[in-house]
Structure 1
Amino acid sequence: MSLLSDLINLNLSETTEKVIAEYIWIGGSGLDMRSKARTLAGPVDDPSKLPKWNYDGSSTGQATGEDSEVILHPQAIFKDPFRRGNNILVMCDSYTPSGVPLPTNKRHAAAKIFSHPDVVAEEPWYGIEQEYTLLQKDIQWPLGWPVGGYPGSQGPYYCGNGADKAFGRDIVNAHYKACLYAGINISGINAEVMPGQWEFQVGPSVGISAGDEIWVARYLLERITEMAGVVLSLDPKPIKVDNPEQGDWNGAGAHANYSTKSMRNDGGYEVIKSAIAKLEKKHKEHIAAYGEGNERRLTGKHETADINTFLWGVANRGASVRVGRETEKAGKGYFEDRRPASNMDPYVVTSMIAETTILWKP
């Protein structure tokens, strides 16, 4: 095992200029992440200088066997915390050979919105709070939970410490450092309300980069849980019970904190309220795009608003949209859309918020 570890951690830069690029893309479910590696002649720091590549779309649910080739377009580069050195991770999106974006390619449409002159002028900032659950591999049950049973009720686990309260911290801390190494603008982590559930925050990130960073952060977490023998779940309601004696468990979201230049400037609070009014008018459209199974999470309980009701308020964590006390006091700042589920597509959510609040003229 010592030799295997030595080979895994081998510093290639001491013997060759060649580097390994891990191409990452989104599979046919719209949530599964796929990747494969190729050798480059030397270091590359511009995605436009990377070669396009292809893969077998019939094996990812994105093409038929008779016409299976799908083309990867490199879009963003990150440092590789696993191979290190000059090796890189490459976030890609997927196209047919004729250049048509696949239905699962949500980045293409998002990039159009974020490149619109009106959106560029507003410099949209995002801070995404990605919640997730760690599951025991063989039984698909939350980490730290007794097999076939339930832990003590919620309360001591949120930001908790101790062997009976925090489960999976080594994974969480490894992921934190891996994101920082990769160049992802991860801004924090914490244990969540349900035991075995955690959160990381990415941002502030501008425009399309928010989606790129969340997807690569998810990829890193998937790889780290793979090494740890633990399963990552982005299900918005991983534990749903009907018997009160079995507990009352929080769901998992991906709250989107958002601001534009106009919101951050003096008088921004009025811009924020106007943007929230637009979000209310398009509540159904946003809910439909905010993640599968979100109706199991948005029940009006566990710090959520009912899925059929749009509600906003200052410092109200039971609202669809929350405005912070500091924003209200300063008269400018940001707001938090609390509706997105943990399994949302960040390209869809971020671009949709920008389109509704900046481009849409009701």
Structure 2
Amino acid sequence: MTKYKLEYIWLDGYTPVPNLRGKTQIKEFSAFPDLADLPLWGFDGSSTLQAEGHSSDCVLKPVAHYPDPARTNGVLVMCEVMMPDGKTPHVSNKRATILDDTGAWFGFEQEYFFYKNGRPLGFPEAGYPAPQGPYYTGVGYKNVGEIARQIVEEHLDLCLAAGINHEGINAEVAKGQWEFQIFGKGSKKAADEMWIARYLLLRLTEKYGIDIEFHCKPLGDTDWNGSGMHANFSTEYMRTVGGKEYFEALMKEFDKNIQEHIAVYGPDNHMRLTGKHETAPWNKFSYGVADRGASIRVPHSFVNNGYKGYLEDRRPNSQGDPYQIASQILKTISAVPAGAVAKAA
């Protein structure tokens, strides 16, 4: 038998952006445990805005697990928060109620800033560095500094070793800003892996004395980019059938539901979606082929393939909850019956 370090990870009750929480218990298993082997556990919800002190018990229900490459015999355990009966989802548990479909594929592009001493990594103590331009996909000390790439490379290795479907990294438009991409099949699977990737990044930077700033516009109303979490999405029907009529009906449905999307695409999006810095205004819907300034960017490959493939919603921001983002996108897609448009035509 081997003693395994089980890191139970969950989202707390803070709003509008929940925080990741985690605590460890030790359990013995003869081999790396299956998900079904992992027991329910509890925590003090009065310390995480999920319960009152006079009745503070909350329950953690394992829903996904991964090897923890930073620990010997470690396991990362993504959990849903449940009420004391272990069966009723807590009101803060968004994962339990989202729309899911394993045929719906999501690719999230997580942007973020490294922060040190209250400012983006590489910014001078006063004022700003040279204007944006050379930092995006930049190389060299003057563009990326001495430590950022070391962290993102280490984070990449951790994600891959954990079995997270990490698809790439790059320096972003602003100094101190970076991006990584996570892909998954199904709302829950894609979002689980994004939250675990965020957790690994936050835990990793502890040893470097650097913070991660996920706010979508940390530098405020300045000529510096904000951070998004662009959501690339497709369904089986979009990938195999599609068609221009179906695509246009889908875009009408997205336009009709603009408020519902913005409501879950991350707080303070009005600061980021201004129509500047390659963003569409938060209160106007648009789409265009290869248009980085549209709400939804339509890849050339989508059009060239007979309006089949994936689309990119550029409005979700870096603070957004991927559970809710993926669910809202899928809900909107589901309102356009597959095949109905083609039959009507």
TM over 0.5: yes
1:215 and 2:190 matched: no
**1:127-276 residue pairs with structure 2 within 5 A?**
127-136=107-116, 139-167=117-145, 168-241=148-221, 248-276=223-251
**TM-score between the two structures when normalised by the length of structure 1:** 0.88
1:207 & 1:59 partners in 2: Cα distance?
Answer: 29
Residue 330 of structure 1: CA displacement? 1.0
1:126 and 2:106 matched: yes
Q: Contact 1:269–1:327 (CA<8 Å) still a contact in 2?
A: no
2:37 & 2:249 partners in 1: Cα distance?
Answer: 42
2:316 to 340, 345, 349: 340
One-letter identity of the residue aligned with 1:320: S
One-letter identity of the residue aligned with 1:290: Y
**Residue of structure 1 in register with 2:290 after alignment:** 315
Residue 337 of structure 1: CA displacement? 0.5
1:88 and 2:68 matched: no
One-letter identity of the residue aligned with 1:344: G
1:53 and 2:41 matched: yes
One-letter identity of the residue aligned with 1:165: N
**Residue of structure 1 in register with 2:25 after alignment:** 38
**Residue of structure 1 in register with 2:341 after alignment:** none
1:69 to 57, 66, 80: 57
Residue 207 of structure 1: CA displacement? 3.1
Could you say what secondary structure the match of 2:304 adopts? helix
1:109 to 84, 97, 110: 97
Residue 268 of structure 1: CA displacement? 4.3
Q: Contact 1:48–1:75 (CA<8 Å) still a contact in 2?
A: no
2:257 & 2:195 partners in 1: Cα distance?
Answer: 26
Structure 2 residue runs without a partner (length 5+): 338-345
Residue 240 of structure 1: CA displacement? 1.6
Residue 149 of structure 1: CA displacement? 2.1
1:354 and 2:330 matched: yes
Residue 204 of structure 1: CA displacement? 4.3
Structure 1 residue runs without a partner (length 5+): 1-15, 243-247
1:22 to 7, 13, 21: 7
1:302 and 2:277 matched: yes
Q: Contact 1:268–1:333 (CA<8 Å) still a contact in 2?
A: no
**1:323-334 residue pairs with structure 2 within 5 A?**
323-331=298-306, 332-334=308-310
Could you say what secondary structure the match of 2:2 adopts? coil
Residue 18 of structure 1: CA displacement? 1.6
One-letter identity of the residue aligned with 1:37: T
2:251 & 2:44 partners in 1: Cα distance?
Answer: 43
1:51 & 1:88 partners in 2: Cα distance?
Answer: 13
1:21 & 1:70 partners in 2: Cα distance?
Answer: 18
Residue 48 of structure 1: CA displacement? 2.6
Residue 274 of structure 1: CA displacement? 2.5
Q: Contact 1:185–1:205 (CA<8 Å) still a contact in 2?
A: no
One-letter identity of the residue aligned with 2:42: N
Q: Contact 2:286–2:296 (CA<8 Å) still a contact in 1?
A: yes
**TM-score between the two structures when normalised by the length of structure 2:** 0.92
Q: Contact 1:175–1:224 (CA<8 Å) still a contact in 2?
A: yes
1:39 & 1:260 partners in 2: Cα distance?
Answer: 40
Over aligned residue pairs, what C-alpha RMSD do you find?
A: 1.6
1:278 and 2:253 matched: yes
Q: Contact 2:249–2:336 (CA<8 Å) still a contact in 1?
A: no
- Once the two structures are superposed, what CA deviation does each residue of 1:196-215 show, in whole Å capped at 9, x if it has no partner? 00000011433310010000
Residue 359 of structure 1: CA displacement? 4.6
- The 3 A distance-change label for structure 1 pair 152 and 83 is same
